[in-house]
């Protein structure tokens, strides 16, 4: 009996610490605490409810993504009355980009709350943004739109949404470079190949050619990252021309 009591007391203390942390992040008291536990449960835990439905944060991510898009879209609509649909869509994409969501998750240090069988240092950078989206989803389902809107306003819009800075922010150098090449009728090619070398992690190298001339090279842990890095280097090589054309 003493052993069981110790386990229950330990679990209770752990849960108590978790919800203190959550309340500090939210700025209000949660109602449905299980939603927030779910928001920080990784699929590696293999948890299921009594109906056999997986318990993890992935479905909450879906809800959080929709809420972020809705609140940010409304804010931009009100703040930039002269912006057309294309402009507003591009600006929203900059705010809710994977890179920016990862930064928001890191800022709140959400990864320290995640329950997982995978060591935290083995996660990729996207875990931070995934947890942020899941948390937003939990807030909406727990407290409704107004609480969710207020959280996004305080944590995202006030500190990070500067219209002038966003206008000049590039979210994908590869997309920008391809757009310029197509507009200017320049041929381009990304030659990507595996380049593990002496590294423990698999790496990829890329050579970016424009009009059959190698303009930039890069190396990263994924093809996508290597292409983006090479595109960024090429962008700065052609910055003046691209800025005039786009």
**Catalytic residue selected from 15, 32, 133, 199:** 133
CA distances from 53 to 21, 31, 46, 49 (A): 27, 22, 10, 5
DSSP state of 113: G
Q: 236-242 contacts: CB < 8 A, separation 24 or more? A: 238/177, 238/180, 241/180, 241/184, 242/176, 242/177, 242/180
Q: 121-127 contacts: CB < 8 A, separation 24 or more? A: 126/98, 126/102
Give the separation between CA 201 and CA 196, rounded to whole angstroms.
Answer: 7
**Catalytic residue selected from 61, 65, 149, 228:** 65
In the residue annotation, 184 being an active-site residue is answered as no
In the residue annotation, 84 being an active-site residue is answered as no
Report the DSSP pairing between strands 204-210 and 213-220.
antiparallel
Q: What residues are annotated to the active site?
A: 65, 133
């Amino acid at each position: 009996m003493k052993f069981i009591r110790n386990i229950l007391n330990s679990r209770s203390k752990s849960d108590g610490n978790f919800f203190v942390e959550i309340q500090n992040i939210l700025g209000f008291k949660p109602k449905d605490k299980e939603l927030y536990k779910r928001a920080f449960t990784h699929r590696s835990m293999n948890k299921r409810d009594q109906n056999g439905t997986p318990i993890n944060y992935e479905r909450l991510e879906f809800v959080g993504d929709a809420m972020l898009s809705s609140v940010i879209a409304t804010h931009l609509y009100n703040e930039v009355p002269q912006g057309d649909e294309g402009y507003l869509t591009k600006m929203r994409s900059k705010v809710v980009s994977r890179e920016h969501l990862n930064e928001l998750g890191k800022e709140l240090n959400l990864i320290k709350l995640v329950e997982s069988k995978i060591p935290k240092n083995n996660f990729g950078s996207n875990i931070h943004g995934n947890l942020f989206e899941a948390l937003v989803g939990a807030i909406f389902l727990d407290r409704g739109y107004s609480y969710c809107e207020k959280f996004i306003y305080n944590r995202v819009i006030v500190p990070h949404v500067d219209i002038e800075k966003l206008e000049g922010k590039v979210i994908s150098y590869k997309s920008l470079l391809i757009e310029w090449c197509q507009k200017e009728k320049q041929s381009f090619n990304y030659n990507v190949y595996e380049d593990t070398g002496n590294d423990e992690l698999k790496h990829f190298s890329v050579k970016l050619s424009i009009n059959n001339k190698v303009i930039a090279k890069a190396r990263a842990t994924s093809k996508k990252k290597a292409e983006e890095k090479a595109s960024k280097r090429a962008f700065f090589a052609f910055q003046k021309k691209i800025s005039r054309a786009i």
